[in-house]
């Protein structure tokens, strides 16, 4: 069987890490695309030279012409600019909308059968722009945010409880970051919900609230420390899990920015919800009943995404 092809559009910090992980996991052959001249070829060559040492079989290549992505099975998009200290994800909207539109048109031309994962921020809006520009079926265009937000939440919880990160599960809904909705009652340690752990004296409600806030601000905390860009290892690892579930038809249940058609009372928008990811892309959107408080937080998050979608719509109408 021929190897799968994974195209990475944007070969910066996240793109390079994605290429390394995809190679190490032998997910398929990897191509990197970037507008920076020489850089995608350079990174691909460097990574290819790691393959004999690391012992993985994958071809790695790259270029500045969109034809390199031709026939890709999966396209992961990080093209655009990242945040600098003091910037919100939303500040990136002007420049990144244009970038994602161009990438979407290229995917339509060269890789119309691909499963597309968008990472470029502001995420929930950029994935909407991607679907519009590429014209691909919405179940084959998703955004990576929830896996990362829940990984951050899981990590902080595991630290607080002194248990393995593997035994902590977290459930998050809504837009990426600031308006993320953690579903505390569905987040567990080995199946024991967090509210029970508070009752058992493992932590306090105050500490839990602080962890939720730290998770929401998780990206900003790293931007502040790095000073020159934003997080890249955990975002790349999160997108790889999504790509793997698609390529191997694992049917993992993962929180992704998915296109809603009435679920949770939302239509024609991408918002973070739990989905089943398999060979068909988003095979199922899981709709759970929310409490009044959770619903209010979710609606607030949806409103924030909607405001940005409207900004893009106005921006595009102005150009027309
Ligand atoms: N087409 C293709 N690539 C582009 C374009 C474009 N029009 N414009 C910029 N790029 C490339 C840059 O040359 C750069 O190599 O996108 C890459 C982005 O890489 P980094 O600046 O290192 O950013 P990274 O940390 O990888 O984050 C990328 O993901 O998490 C989000 O907010 C983050 O939107 C940002 C994106």
pLDDT tens over the chain, length 320 residues: 899 999 999 999 999 999 999 999 999 999 999 999 999 999 999 999 999 999 999 999 999 999 999 999 999 999 999 888 888 888 889 899 999 999 999 999 999 999 999 999 999 999 999 999 999 999 999 999 999 999 999 999 999 999 999 999 998 999 887 889 999 999 999 999 999 999 999 999 999 999 999 999 999 999 999 999 999 999 999 999 999 999 999 999 999 999 999 999 999 999 999 999 999 999 999 999 999 999 999 999 999 999 999 989 888 887 76
Residues forming the active site: 176
* Ligand 1 atom nearest residue 11's Cα: 15
107 is in an annotated binding site: no
How remote is the CA of residue 1 from the centroid of ligand 1, in Å? 33
Question: Cβ distance 274 to 253 under 8 Å?
Answer: yes
How remote is the CA of residue 117 from the centroid of ligand 1, in Å? 14
- Name the pTM for this structure: 0.97
CA nearest ligand 1 atom 16, residue: 79
CA nearest ligand 1 atom 34, residue: 120
Closest CA relative to residue 75, chosen from 35, 26, 120, 41: 120
CA nearest ligand 1 atom 29, residue: 120
Token look-up 């809006």 returns: 125
SS (H, E, C) 54-111: HCCCCCEEEECCHHHHCCCCEEEECCCCCCCCCCCHHHHHHHHHHHHHHHHHHHHHHC
Q: Any idea what DSSP says for residue 27?
A: -
254 DSSP β-pair partners: 275
- Ligand 1 is surrounded, with C-beta below 6 A, by 9-15, 34-36, 78-80, 82-83, 92, 96, 99, 102, 119-121, 229-230, 232, 235
Residue 140, C-beta contacts closer than 8 angstroms, at least 6 positions apart:
114, 115, 116, 281, 282
How remote is the CA of residue 9 from the centroid of ligand 1, in Å? 8
Rounded to the nearest 5°, which phi and psi values hold at 135? 70, 10
Could you count the other beta carbons within 10 Å of the beta carbon of residue 158?
17
How remote is the CA of residue 23 from the centroid of ligand 1, in Å? 20
12 is in an annotated binding site: yes
Could you count the other beta carbons within 10 Å of the beta carbon of residue 238?
24
Determine the Cα–Cα distance for residues 320 and 115; give it in Å rounded to an integer: 29
Residue 97, C-beta contacts closer than 8 angstroms, at least 6 positions apart:
125, 126, 129, 312, 315, 316
């Amino acid at each position: 069987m021929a190897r799968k092809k994974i195209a990475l559009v944007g070969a910066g910090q996240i793109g390079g890490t994605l290429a390394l992980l995809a190679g190490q996991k032998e997910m398929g052959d990897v191509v990197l695309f970037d507008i920076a001249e020489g850089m995608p070829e350079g990174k691909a060559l460097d990574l290819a030279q790691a393959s004999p040492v690391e012992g993985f079989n994958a071809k790695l290549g790259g270029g500045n012409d969109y034809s390199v992505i031709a026939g890709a099975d999966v396209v992961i998009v990080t093209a655009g600019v990242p945040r600098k200290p003091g910037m919100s994800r939303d500040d990136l909207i002007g420049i990144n909308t244009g970038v994602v539109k161009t990438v979407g048109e290229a995917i339509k031309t060269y890789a119309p059968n691909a499963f597309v994962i968008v990472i470029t921020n502001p995420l929930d809006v950029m994935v909407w722009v991607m679907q519009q520009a590429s014209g691909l079926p919405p179940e084959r265009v998703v955004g990576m945010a929830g896996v990362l937000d829940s990984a951050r939440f899981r990590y902080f919880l595991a630290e607080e409880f002194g248990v393995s990160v593997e035994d902590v599960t977290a459930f998050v809904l809504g837009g990426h970051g600031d308006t993320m909705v953690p579903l505390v009652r569905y987040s567990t340690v080995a199946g024991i919900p967090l509210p029970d752990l508070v009752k058992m004296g493992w932590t306090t409600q105050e500490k839990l609230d602080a962890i939720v806030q730290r998770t929401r601000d998780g990206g900003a905390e790293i931007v502040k420390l790095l000073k020159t860009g934003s997080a890249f290892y955990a975002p790349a690892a999160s997108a790889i899990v999504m790509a793997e579930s698609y390529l191997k038809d694992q049917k993992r249940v993962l929180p992704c920015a998915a296109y809603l058609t009435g679920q949770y009372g939302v239509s024609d928008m991408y918002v973070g919800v739990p989905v089943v990811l398999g060979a068909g892309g988003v095979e199922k959107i899981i709709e759970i009943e929310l409490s009044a408080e959770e619903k209010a937080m979710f609606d607030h998050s949806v409103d924030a995404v909607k405001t940005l979608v409207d900004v893009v719509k106005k921006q595009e109408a102005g150009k027309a």
